[in-house]
């Protein structure tokens, strides 16, 4: 029996973080589900032994892939580059606004031509799982005069070999103001005579602080002592909230260096005493300690900068070769930036529109791993294990190689090893794990009272391994 598929909407093809291409309507999660259901129907009709239970499993598994890593920037068009979201000029800080404050964050990106393109954006409120808050109406979460707002802040590149147009969005602004605390998605689309094509998604947070979080990081973990791990211990005081069932009304997410691939989602507290929730001996809160981030800097195309072996002109583009890297066998005490990117140049005045683009060549000398891939990881790779940031092993040089087109500036990064059966990166094989590493840890606390329509973000706290409180 044939199964017709009728979809009365325009569709596009995009590539997700993992290199998987999927055709769907712009921004329509319902179409994804319809497409998955359609596949299930085909399987069910073609294979007599396929059970309904299998189809349900297939749906659940497929949806988990769709929403995996939906918390970090997603670049959906190949001509979009250098997407940076920053708060107070800090591109490494989580983009967090305090509800009712004058806080503002900035999102910038380059479109790789000197021609104007009409880009639109909107914001969408998300629940604690980063899915759209379906119980809310748009006017509940945002004050705006239209569904989509035009990006009217842009400048063409000047005095550069590579042409690009630099776009900027600042939120909140006169046209878009978030009204509720929680998670948000910022969608940017290309408008071509009314046809909207997804360009990128970015994510930010609005916090309404209602809990007191006490954080501690120790190397005396439940599995080793001053060795290869760090453990987060925390307590959350919820006395300002009217909580009846803490296990259902409170959710937490714990991040290391703002990475989402190894984030810990909603670990169950060890103790609940009155309004206090405590996590003291949670093995799920034990993180690989890793090592300090590597870094390089290109400030000019005329001479090599920090970490650069040489820089040359190919006849059409600039090429920069990094110093050949090797796996680390000891802790490297370095003032790193935990993945940060800072665009800058010494050749011109305005870094945003006058920085050059350079092909940066990475080289990692080591034996080939047969059951895993190696990726470059930093804020500027968007925590994204895609082919764009995957190193390829070269038999002749006995090294992993990768070329990435980057804007001049400062870059911090790690080499993460991702086994073929995982979506999580591991520092051990290349960077090593050393308890002294100055990692940063972030705790996001969400609250949804029974009967409420959305998840509030009621706490965001950060601490580094050296016990310096970063944000409370």
pLDDT tens digit sequence for 249-282: 999 999 999 999 999 999 999 999 999 999 999 9
The pLDDT value recorded for residue 69 is 53
Task: Give me 397's structure tokens.
Answer: 């040089």
Phi and psi angles of residue 465, each rounded to the nearest 5 degrees, phi first: -60, -30
Nearest to 466 by CA among 271, 333, 357: 333
The pLDDT value recorded for residue 337 is 86
Mean pLDDT score of the chain, rounded to an integer? 87
Phi and psi angles of residue 336, each rounded to the nearest 5 degrees, phi first: -90, 180
C-alpha separations of 377 from 159, 232, 394 in Å: 30, 22, 20
Assess contact for 84 and 341: CB atoms under 8 A. Answer: yes
For the ranges 25-29, 54-58, 219-223, the lowest mean pLDDT is seen at: 25-29
Assess contact for 206 and 458: CB atoms under 8 A. Answer: no
Is the confidence at residue 458, as pLDDT, over 60?
yes
Is the confidence at residue 10, as pLDDT, over 70?
no
Is the confidence at residue 172, as pLDDT, over 90?
yes
Is the confidence at residue 15, as pLDDT, over 50?
no
Q: List, for residues 388-421, the tens digit of each pLDDT value.
A: 999 999 999 999 999 999 999 999 999 999 999 8
CA–CA–CA angle 155, 158, 164 (5° rounding): 60
The pLDDT value recorded for residue 146 is 85
Is the confidence at residue 339, as pLDDT, over 70?
yes
Question: What pLDDT band is residue 39 in, cutting at 50, 70 and 90?
Answer: low
Is the confidence at residue 351, as pLDDT, over 60?
yes
H-type alpha helices, 229-268: 246-249
Task: Give me 175's structure tokens.
Answer: 């046209």
Phi and psi angles of residue 325, each rounded to the nearest 5 degrees, phi first: -95, 160
Task: Give me 294's structure tokens.
Answer: 């590597």
Question: What pLDDT band is residue 14 in, cutting at 50, 70 and 90?
Answer: very low
Residue 283: count of CB within 10 angstroms of its CB: 11
Question: What pLDDT band is residue 468 in, cutting at 50, 70 and 90?
Answer: low
Question: What pLDDT band is residue 97 in, cutting at 50, 70 and 90?
Answer: very high
């Amino acid at each position: 029996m044939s199964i017709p598929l009728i979809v009365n909407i325009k569709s596009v093809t995009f590539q997700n973080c993992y290199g998987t291409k999927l055709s769907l309507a712009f921004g329509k999660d319902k179409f994804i589900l319809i497409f998955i259901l359609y596949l299930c129907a085909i399987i069910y009709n073609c294979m007599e032994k396929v059970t309904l239970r299998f189809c349900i499993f297939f749906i659940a598994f497929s949806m988990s892939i769709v929403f995996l890593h939906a918390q970090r920037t997603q670049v959906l068009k190949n001509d979009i580059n250098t997407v940076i979201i920053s708060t107070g000029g800090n591109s490494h800080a989580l983009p967090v606004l305090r509800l009712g404050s004058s806080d503002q964050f900035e999102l910038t990106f380059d479109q790789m031509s000197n021609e104007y393109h009409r880009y639109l954006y909107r914001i969408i409120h998300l629940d604690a799982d980063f899915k759209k808050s379906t119980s809310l109406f748009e006017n509940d979460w945002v004050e705006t005069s239209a569904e989509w707002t035009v990006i009217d802040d842009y400048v063409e590149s000047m005095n550069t070999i590579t042409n690009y147009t630099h776009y900027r969005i600042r939120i909140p602004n006169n046209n878009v103001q978030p009204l509720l605390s929680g998670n948000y998605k910022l969608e940017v689309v290309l408008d071509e005579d009314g046809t909207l094509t997804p360009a990128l998604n970015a994510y930010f947070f609005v916090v309404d602080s209602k809990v007191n979080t006490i954080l501690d990081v120790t190397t005396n973990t439940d599995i080793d002592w001053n060795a290869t791990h760090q453990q987060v211990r925390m307590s959350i005081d919820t006395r300002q909230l009217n909580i009846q069932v803490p296990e259902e009304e409170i959710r937490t997410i714990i991040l290391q260096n703002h990475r989402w691939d190894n984030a810990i989602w909603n670990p169950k507290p060890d103790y609940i005493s009155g309004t206090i929730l405590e996590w003291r001996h949670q093995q799920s809160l034990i993180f690989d300690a890793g090592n300090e981030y590597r870094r390089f800097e290109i400030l000019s195309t005329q001479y090599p900068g920090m970490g650069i072996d040489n820089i040359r002109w190919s006849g059409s583009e600039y090429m920069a070769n990094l110093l050949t890297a090797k796996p680390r066998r000891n802790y490297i005490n370095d003032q790193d930036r935990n993945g940060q990117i800072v665009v800058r140049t010494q050749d011109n005045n305005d870094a945003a529109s006058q920085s050059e683009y350079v092909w940066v060549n990475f080289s990692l000398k080591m034996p080939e791993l047969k059951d895993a891939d190696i990726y470059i990881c930093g804020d500027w790779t968007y925590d994204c294990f895609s082919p764009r940031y995957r190193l390829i092993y070269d038999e002749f040089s006995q090294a992993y190689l990768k070329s990435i087109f980057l804007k001049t500036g400062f870059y911090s990064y790690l080499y993460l090893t991702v086994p073929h059966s995982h979506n999580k990166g591991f520092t051990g094989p290349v960077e090593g794990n050393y308890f002294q590493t100055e990692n940063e840890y972030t705790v996001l606390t969400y609250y949804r009272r029974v009967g409420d329509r959305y998840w509030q973000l009621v706490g965001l706290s950060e601490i580094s391994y050296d016990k310096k409180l970063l944000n409370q």
